[in-house]
Structure 1
Amino acid sequence: MAQRENKLRKAIVMLIVLIVLVPCAFMLYDSTIVSGEKKVEFYYMTGDGVMKPVKKEIRGENTEDILVTTLRTLKNDTVAEGMIPSVPAEVEFLSVGLVNDNAIIDVSNGYHRLKNTEEVICRSSIVWTLTSLDFVEGVVLTVEGQPLRNNNGQEIGPMDRSNVVIEPEISAETTEYAILTLYFANMDGTDLVTEERVIEVNANQTSEKTILEQLIAGPEELDVQRTVPVETKLRDVTTTNDGICYVNLSQDFVSKHSGGEMAEKLTIYSIVNSLCELDHIDKVQFLIEGKKVDQFKGTLELKTPFAAISSLKGLETE
């Protein structure tokens, strides 16, 4: 009798264990296993300086396997004609993981040797490619185990597509990706700093207009300051064959500006330097409501075109 009760007790215990563990096993399975193939958008640069996606199918047994295969394909797979690999040879993927829907990617120290534009292309390509997977919300990059930081030493943290400027009136069929180098004021208001930005733009819109719209919209980084009054309206922008870009702005550009020698220089040269990043622009001529004006706010003369400068420090008053 005692043996029978003991066997019954063990059977009940085993049944309870099965009731508890079987659902947990299914939950674990669902969180780590991904069915066969995933369609991934791989982002590469084209020869004309825009970033475009190429759709490919990736096969893997689970999320980590798919992430590893995706990164390996992004780095090593043959790209289509006219496209440029976005992950340089000196950048190696050391480890990959998934935490709270964020892909955690550790790369080799060669990442820090990339030039500014190379780094932006590489980082953007990785982020946009991985976030095309339905189980990845964001991407965290580390370099040899150390957090990725911006130019001011702040940790960048999770990255996704939320900082990509998309104009709602532009349809998907007419958009491309472009990398812009924009100039804003540093926090001290003593000089210009660059902000590399990858945006989705209208393929039929000029780069000049896109740059000016981004400058008016203001910086995305927290440690820089806007230079152009937000009320400013772009009337027109045209670049002539001799490399002079004519920027026609509304009166708000002048009337809404705070004034002051340094503030004027920061505003003017943020526009000039940003536009002169384009190969076909050498100088910028400002127009206010379609007309040349003698002065901006009492310090800088606007009668003649401006060329880009390397720094505001030491710049003499015009």
Structure 2
Amino acid sequence: MNNTLKKLINLILCLMLIPCCMVGCSGDKSADNEKLVKVYYLNSAETGLIFQDYEIKADMSETDSVISELLEQMKTQPPKLEYEAPIYGPVNLLSYSLNGGVLTLDFASTYLGTEKTTEILDRAAMVRTLTQIPEIEYVTFTVDKAPLLDDDGNIIGNMSADDFVYNAGNEINAYEKAELILYFASEDGQELIPVYRSVVYNSNILMQRLVVEQLLAGPNTDLACASLNPQAKINSVSVRDGVCYVDFDGGILTRMGDIDPKIALYSLVNTICETADVNKVQISVNGSSEGYFMEKIALSTVFERNLDVVRQ
């Protein structure tokens, strides 16, 4: 075969491959844009979301058919090993209904046995996928016709894509799992007890703010006691040059029972210093570091980790 013929064959092959590459990278350009959606899945580690572009085959005016098609996609395990379908196993969808822009998904009772991290990610995947349908503004979950509740027994209610916000300009995991070390007071209020907590959090939240929120929420064990006033409000949290600056309202100055103020303060400082890139903490109240923490400790101090008050 001469060189001219070889070049011609190669050129023809390249031209044949171009449309395939365009579809694989950015979808079929001739397709109606409103039919192109992102179907969300869990990653194989069940720590975040990933998606695949998908072209809806049903007529977009037939909303029920579109819903059914997308639900079927989320029930089907993709060929890629790193993708995990959000509707599978214990996440057994029994029925769905659409009323006034709210899509209700009803699941079998086995749904409640889903591990918490996975459950939130499953929910995020379904809500973000289904709210791309123009007629669906919100998605709500029920289990055997009863509203889905959060860990505190509150009804979760209607969810929109905005409830699972991704960082601007980046399709990254909205929710991630973290293992935290939180320091709470001992029963006599004279020592700190480390409590290990697994949480699922919005990746837009600064980690230092997350741990302070978790600390204010109190311990989830009888082995430790709340060290800070749970009614205290966080005004702001920021990190600069290894120092975490955290500002509260006046509620942070309220002493909890017999908890030693030093223990209360270092429950906060030690917890924050367990996070990456922080080794010092500056506390302020309504923007001021004047005055005293629980009338005992000058707020003007920049505090460092204190392991001497931690129970060994």
Query: TM-score per shorter chain, which class?
Result: 0.5 to 0.7
Q: For residue 303 of structure 1, what is the aligned residue in structure 2? A: 305
With structure 2 as the length reference, what TM-score do the two structures score? 0.57
Q: For residue 35 of structure 2, what is the aligned residue in structure 1? A: 38
Q: Is the aligned partner of 1:234 residue 2:239?
A: yes
With structure 1 as the length reference, what TM-score do the two structures score? 0.56
Distance 2:153 2:64 in 1: 30
> Where do 5+ consecutive residues of structure 1 fail to align?
1-34, 185-190, 202-208, 238-247, 276-280, 290-295, 307-314
Asked whether the 8 Å contact 2:78–2:84 carries over to 1, the reply is: no
Per-residue Cα deviation, 1:137-185 (whole angstroms, up to 9, x for no partner): 1101111111101112221110112334555xx4x2474433245989x
Q: For residue 288 of structure 1, what is the aligned residue in structure 2? A: 281
1:270: Cα distance to partner? 6.2
Asked whether the 8 Å contact 2:87–2:93 carries over to 1, the reply is: no
Distance 2:101 2:56 in 1: 19
1:96: Cα distance to partner? 1.1
Equivalent positions of 1:132-147 (< 5 A) are: 132-147=132-147
Q: 1:113 to 1:218 in 2, by over 3 A?
A: closer
Q: For residue 124 of structure 1, what is the aligned residue in structure 2? A: 124
Asked whether the 8 Å contact 2:106–2:142 carries over to 1, the reply is: yes
Q: For residue 96 of structure 2, what is the aligned residue in structure 1? A: 96
1:257: Cα distance to partner? 4.3
Q: 1:305 to 1:116 in 2, by over 3 A?
A: farther
1:98: Cα distance to partner? 0.9
Q: 1:153 to 1:229 in 2, by over 3 A?
A: closer
Q: 1:227 to 1:180 in 2, by over 3 A?
A: farther
Distance 2:141 2:173 in 1: 25
> Where do 5+ consecutive residues of structure 2 fail to align?
1-31, 183-192, 218-228, 283-292, 298-302
Residue identity in the other structure for 1:121: L
Per-residue Cα deviation, 1:262-307 (whole angstroms, up to 9, x for no partner): 854764576578x5xxxxx8xx974136xxxxxx8769x943469x
Q: 1:251 to 1:77 in 2, by over 3 A?
A: closer
Matched-pair identity in %: 18
Distance 1:66 1:266 in 2: 52
Could you say what secondary structure the match of 1:71 adopts?
A: helix
Distance 1:107 1:65 in 2: 20
1:129: Cα distance to partner? 1.2
Q: Is the aligned partner of 1:178 residue 2:178?
A: no
Distance 1:182 1:226 in 2: 24
Asked whether the 8 Å contact 1:232–1:253 carries over to 2, the reply is: no
1:102: Cα distance to partner? 1.0
Could you say what secondary structure the match of 2:56 adopts?
A: strand
Could you say what secondary structure the match of 1:132 adopts?
A: coil
Q: For residue 54 of structure 1, what is the aligned residue in structure 2? A: 52
Q: 1:112 to 1:122 in 2, by over 3 A?
A: same
Q: 1:44 to 1:59 in 2, by over 3 A?
A: same
Could you say what secondary structure the match of 2:133 adopts?
A: coil
Q: 1:126 to 1:266 in 2, by over 3 A?
A: farther
Could you say what secondary structure the match of 1:232 adopts?
A: strand
Q: For residue 13 of structure 1, what is the aligned residue in structure 2? A: none
Per-residue Cα deviation, 1:11-64 (whole angstroms, up to 9, x for no partner): xxxxxxxxxxxxxxxxxxxxxxxx998323111222463312211122235212
RMSD: 4.6
Distance 1:177 1:115 in 2: 17
Equivalent positions of 1:1-318 (< 5 A) are: 38-47=35-44, 49-61=47-59, 62-165=62-165, 170=168, 172-173=169-170, 175-180=172-177, 196-199=200-203, 201=204, 210-214=206-210, 229-236=234-241, 248-250=243-245, 252=247, 257-258=252-253, 260=255, 261=259, 264=265, 267=268, 271=272, 275=275, 286-288=279-281, 302-304=304-306
Distance 2:164 2:231 in 1: 18
Distance 1:251 1:139 in 2: 36
